[in-house]
Structure 1
């Protein structure tokens, strides 16, 4: 399947589905935090997903070990992937989740800036920048009030999560600009899962995390959802999309994730759904439409 320059219905539908899954993941992480410490949770997720993706790839006879020049990019992507999640979980020890969302979802702007040098064929037009800015305004409408009145060491967490957004964008750009863009989505994902599975558990030990301290059926179910649905199925689909479609256009959809997370919290956890949630959804949806609207033919 040759790479495309615009998002079609398949890509749009997959991205809406994945953003919904990633939004629900926020609820699953909260539920699993009640019994498994955060970085341990991320490490266990990577270990479980690596085994599942490996079994899937072997069953489909995907070539994983041939010399295709992808090793340097794969190791780099794995290190960036591990750094992203480590910084998120460490940062959340200092700042609130709502503040963290604002800084994390600066990542699409880093992708767009990096694409100027690394992906010159994905030229960003003014309307695309405007659409991304409008979508980000939707995130600010949803969480912006939490930027005010920060106290203590919240700035440390904000800075760490802002850095994690850079690593998230760098992972996407590495996949798109390196030899990983020519290998299977299974191999691309396995690089990241295996490297993070080797890094995150030792990091959790160094941080003195308790690990699994209060297991329950709900905690295990939440972790299983992250392993099977999020880190295996949705990430496989995401990296397939990154190979086939412009990274800048795909990244604009990520602004949907925090809105979907709040909606999921309202449906699954009974959290309040204020008018700001639906205003944010409208702004994000409008921004994504503007950012992905095809250029007018002259």
Structure 2
């Protein structure tokens, strides 16, 4: 991926390649953001976050197992240290992050959830500042301030719908974004050594096993018996909101580079806001649009500085 990025910076990409990469990145971002909509629909059938995430991983696990086995055969064996690191990354980056996210969605709107998750790059930057003593330029502080002002604006707006519930849900999603930031920090060096596809496949397998173990430890097996609609929505959540976005994002990065792909992914919060209104009936207000705009501008400026 490093070689591809170097080649991209050395010569302009063909227009068709750029358009294809942007289309894939945008579609992947929209599909990934749609998981919040699907989760809200699933909660209407009175299942909880433990059951929801278990079904999601149960349906997506076969795909990630297949990719993991394929990569295991064509790639060099992992060291025991790498195995332990991948296990830790899978638990923090996908299991804990996803579980906290779905817990939060029980309490807050999909628009606010997506905006809080979109702050993940700012958490990566702040962790670098506090742990690795990275120096932050004034322009980066300004971008951070814009993004957080947008979150505060939408958060205060949503407090009118239920203060306690909004605070609790926001804290859960904030924890999700923070845990995923630690995952991103921990994957940098490993991605260069073992490859992003292999790392994601292994980490997702670890996460899936953890989610299923959690379900069988905390819930009776009879909870697996659900209405047909739960199975269909869970299948959509697993295939279209989990598996497809993972591979689509990788395909986009290979075509147009990580920076451009991540900027195209900014369509995610906007699509969630409008899909929430269209499918769930969640209202769109001027305050929400203004807050979303501030967050997007802040993250965009931060990505340019990075």
Query: Structure 2 length as normaliser, TM-score?
Result: 0.72
Q: Is the 8 A contact 1:73 1:179 kept in 2?
A: no
Q: Is the 8 A contact 2:65 2:205 kept in 1?
A: no
C-alpha distance in 2 between matches for 1:240 and 1:246: 10
Does 2:96 align with 1:86? no
Matches within 5 A, 1:203-242: 203-208=214-219, 211-212=223-224, 214-217=226-229, 219-238=230-249
Matches within 5 A, 1:134-283: 134-147=146-159, 157-176=169-188, 178-208=189-219, 211-212=223-224, 214-217=226-229, 219-238=230-249, 257-283=268-294
Residue ranges of structure 1 left out of the alignment (5+ in a row)? none
Higher deviation after alignment, 164-173 or 80-89: 80-89
Alignment RMSD: 4.1
Could you say if the C-alpha distance between residues 164 and 109 of structure 1 is closer, same or farther in structure 2, counting changes exceeding 3 Å?
A: same
Could you say if the C-alpha distance between residues 152 and 110 of structure 1 is closer, same or farther in structure 2, counting changes exceeding 3 Å?
A: closer
Query: Structure 1 length as normaliser, TM-score?
Result: 0.74
Residue ranges of structure 2 left out of the alignment (5+ in a row)? none
C-alpha distance in 1 between matches for 2:208 and 2:281: 33
C-alpha distance in 1 between matches for 2:249 and 2:135: 21
TM-superposed CA distance for 1:26, in Å, is 1.1
Q: Which has the higher helix share?
A: 2
Does 2:102 align with 1:70? no
Could you say if the C-alpha distance between residues 159 and 240 of structure 1 is closer, same or farther in structure 2, counting changes exceeding 3 Å?
A: same
Cα shift readout 1:46-94 (whole Å, capped 9, x = no counterpart) = 232231133356678973672366323211111102112223334555x
TM-superposed CA distance for 1:167, in Å, is 0.7
Give the number of aligned pairs: 290
C-alpha distance in 2 between matches for 1:183 and 1:118: 25
Does 2:29 align with 1:19? yes
Q: Is the 8 A contact 1:131 1:291 kept in 2?
A: yes
Does 2:57 align with 1:46? yes
